[in-house]
Amino acid sequence: MRVPILGTAAGIERYLLELGTITEFPDRAGVTRRLYTEAWQKAQIMIYELMCAAGLEAWMDEVGNVHGRLQGSSDQTILTGSHFDTVVDGGAYDGAYGIIAGIVALSELKARQVPLHRSLEVVAFSEEEGSRFPLTCWGSRALVGKIDTEAMLLCDSQGISLNDAMRSVGLNPSRAHPRRSYDYQGFVELHVEQGSQLEERRKPIGIVGTIFGQERWIVRVRGESAHAGTTRMARRHDALVAASEMVMAVYRLSQNNEAHAIATVGLLQVHHGTANCVPGHVTFTVDLRSAHDEIRRNLALQLRQDFKESGIRHGVEVVAEKHTDTAAVSMSSHLQHLTRDVAENLELDTLFLDSRAGHDAQILGREMPAGMIFVPSHQGISHHAREFTSARDLANGERVLRNVLERAANNRYSEDGGG
């Protein structure tokens, strides 16, 4: 496997699309690569081999993250990279682009024999999406020692525990606490925007200021299953009707607060439902996000009150369990300015914007200076088979990343981070 010289547009796109062929469901559109599945493991191996082919020191850590290192004159290290898991039937660019572009950037710096004070390391995080287990950013949390041993007991929809899933790909759950290999001093994540602001404003480079905080719930509504023909309306405890009210409460909250918050019900299940029975048990998810954690907390309280009132009206039990809570994080102002300067030197216009999508930079940004670089997403489509970013934009992002990494590796750090 040969890494393209200079990170040519065609080369980056080629490896992205090649990685995109590794999926759990080859007969379906889109890419599905959930944590610790066979497809996930194949992608992990491909990324490792690509790092080796690029001449990087490569290894896999205790949770399946893949690292590729370009040694500088010190062990102080600037990280880059993203995640290689996907949502179900997702796109080929989300996450994977930051990994491929990071490998290409380090390969080019190595090929040019660019002197580096700090070392550079690209990391492919094992999980970020939360598409298999009720957790997110497993790979980046592990890297900074922020995982909970209780997470090992979490199960997927098939009842397989995270503990057993790790063992299925040759990992030892008892060792799922990797220590930092080196002195990590900063992180720069390159990503497709997953929105339409850059495309609409015709800006090739986005610079992220704040990543929205988010929380995810599993809501369980328990009523009473009953005969659809003989049970009168006044005697029904219909879990689905109650849940439907709650879904609409989430929708109305989003409509009324879209300027600074967004909420979504992405999954709803009627358990043991049949056409001739009143539904007795329903579960659904809630995804709530805001750039301001206080606003998010207040909206969460409002939703819980709405759910409680729906439960009372319909005589059902409602339990809303929060399984993910990630605070909003501001990116390093120094890295933001550095990215702007690099882009201007490359004659690429920039747009400062916030990210409503969660990212690994959100986790690492609480432990070290972090920055995010966006490139346009066609029509803002993401988490979908039609996700697309042009080869030209892919190449522009890699050029900016490469120059930011070189300068961060060689410049003095300020207190707030950056280089």
Q: Is 83 annotated as a binding residue?
A: yes
Instruction: Specify whether the CB–CB gap between 201 and 374 falls below 8 A.
Output: no
For residue 289, say whether it is annotated as part of any ligand binding site.
yes
Q: How many helices (H) and strands (E) does the chain have?
A: 11, 16
Gyration radius (Cα) of the chain, Å: 23
Of 228, 189, 195, 196, nearest to 78 by C-alpha is 189
CA distance 259 to 250: 15
Rama region for 170: left / alpha / beta (φ>0; ψ in -120 to 50; rest)? left
Identify the CA nearest to 184 among candidates 259, 80, 303, 321. 80
Q: Is 57 annotated as a binding residue?
A: no
Q: Residue 359 annotated as binding? A: no
The residue length of the chain stands at: 419
Closest CA to 176 of 186, 166, 185: 166
Q: Which of 214, 208, 209 is nearest to 190 (CA)?
A: 208
- Residue-by-residue DSSP string for 81-149: EEE----TTB-SSTTHHHHHHHHHHHHHHHHTT---SSEEEEEEES--S-SSSS---HHHHHHTT---G
In this structure, the dihedral spanned by the alpha carbons of residues 153, 158, 228 and 306, taken in order and rounded to 10 degrees, is 40
**Integer Cα distance of 315 and 337 in angstroms:** 56
Residue 26 is classified by DSSP as: T
Q: Give the DSSP H/E element, type plus range, for residue 342.
A: helix 333-345
State yes or no: 85 annotated in a binding site: no
Matching residue, tokens 């080369």 = 11
| Packing angle, helices 391-410 and 96-111, rounded to 10 | 60
Q: Is 94 annotated for ligand binding?
A: yes
Binding site per annotation, positions for allantoate: 216, 276, 289
What are the binding residues? 83, 94, 129, 191, 216, 276, 289, 383
Query: Known binding site for Zn(2+): residues?
Result: 83, 94, 129, 191, 383
